[in-house]
Amino acid sequence: MVMFLMGKVSTSDGTLLPSNVMVERVCGARVKQQVYASSHGDFTMELGGMTDTILDASGDGPSLQNISRDSMDQGVPRIELANCDLRASASGFRSRVVNLAGLTPTVSSIDVGSIVVERMEKVKGATLSATPYRAPADARKAYERGLDAERKGKLSEAQENFQKAVVLYPKYASAWFQLGTVLEQDGKSEAARTAFTKATTADAKFLPPYLALAAMSFKAAEWHEVLKLTGYVMERDPLTYNGVPGYILDMDPMDFAEAYFYNAAANYKLNQVEAAEKSGLRAERLDVRPRFPQLHLLLAEIFTGKGSYAKAIAELETYLELAPHARDAEQVRGRIARLEAVKVAPGSEKSEPK
């Protein structure tokens, strides 16, 4: 059993930490526990019954030492930390992640060392194309009118204005993307695909149209195309941009979760299970506001195939938590029961019983 996580938050450039730095324990796709670091960056997280609660180690709130031991569970099993990370949250900074799986506990504690935070540097061209700044005034006005009409649900008017913008300025990547979005909402899939492709041609560094095309290819089961498109987005993952962890793109991390999910599904369909697992786990970590319950079904399939029944069951249970009223909820509960049976059966095969 592990009862304490201890460590320190520090900046990559040696400067002082901002106030109210919070350390979060994230397991799978969920924040399980939070604790404030002290003004010097030190923190202690006591595991167990105080999960999902913000504890204050700064001296300004209730101290960890003031919490009765009787109110706590006796820590957590080490195996439960295998899918957990620690990260720090501070305005204007991006945190590197410390994975808890490979750390060695000392008695009932784990010293995680230092969690490094870096000042965020924006990498241009992720969600904000440079082309609008070069567009003539009349094209920009048409684009803005299109955005206003789209917000009001006037798709025909929005489409007309976005089309006018790209006619006036054919390299207007943002306008091509918005045109594709409106066309897709209007059920004009092929025209939308053409518009998204035009956006990638106008500005290759502008990522949203690649993701939109990946989503369309996912729906059409064009798995090789999904891999190509998501691969381009994943190369710009904010934690590994140019091989340097800690940089952030202008793109919402949730969009990266979507890219990894599509990539995992495509790899699985192409029988590239290891790649599917890697992308699926990355999607799970990024999807902190879960939008893809079906991701957990995919991971359950992968873990079942590997004979990792406990992990498969955990993924299926997460799916039911996120989608309790799904059409296949009863079927999933049946799968859990079968996996529970085979998990405890001596000499069981590495496949789910039918």
pLDDT single digits (tens) 304-345: 999 999 999 999 999 998 888 888 999 999 999 999 998 765
- In this predicted model, which residue has the larger pLDDT, 285 or 54? 285
- Token pair belonging to 187: 């059920």
Spell 97-129 as b/e; 16+ CB within 10 A means b.
ebebeebebeeebbebeebbbbeeeebebbebb
Single out the residue of 114, 78, 123 nearest to residue 95, CA to CA.
114
Kindly indicate the confidence band of residue 48, based on its pLDDT and cuts at 50, 70 and 90.
low
Superfamily of domain 131-241: Tetratricopeptide repeat domain (1.25.40.10)
Neighbours of 246 (CB within 10 A): 20
Q: Do domains 4-120 and 131-241 have the same CATH topology?
A: no
**Both tokens assigned to 82:** 């295998």
Residue 306: the pLDDT is 93
84-89, strands of its sheet edge to edge: 54-56, 30-36, 22-27, 84-89, 98-99
From the centroid of its chain, how far is CA 61? 31
- pLDDT per residue as tens digits for the range 239-283: 554 433 433 344 454 468 889 999 999 999 999 999 999 999 988
Per-residue CA distances from 71 to 1, 43, 46, 48, 68 (Å): 17, 20, 12, 9, 5
pLDDT surpassing 50 at residue 287 = yes
Using CB atoms within 10 Å of the CB of residue 154, give its burial: 0 to 12 exposed, 13 to 18 middle, 19+ buried: middle
Cα dihedral sign, 211-208-123-203? positive
* Phi, psi values for residue 254, rounded to 5°: -65, -30
CATH superfamily name and code, 4-120: Carboxypeptidase-like, regulatory domain (2.60.40.1120)
User: For 144-161, how does the pLDDT look when each residue is reduced to its tens digit (9 = 90+)?
Assistant: 999 999 888 899 999 999
d(CA 256, CA 262) in angstroms, rounded, equals: 10
Can you give the pLDDT at residue 95? 82
* Band of residue 62 on the pLDDT scale cut at 50, 70, 90: very low
In the chain, where are the structural domains located?
4-120, 131-241, 293-354
What does pTM read for this prediction? 0.62
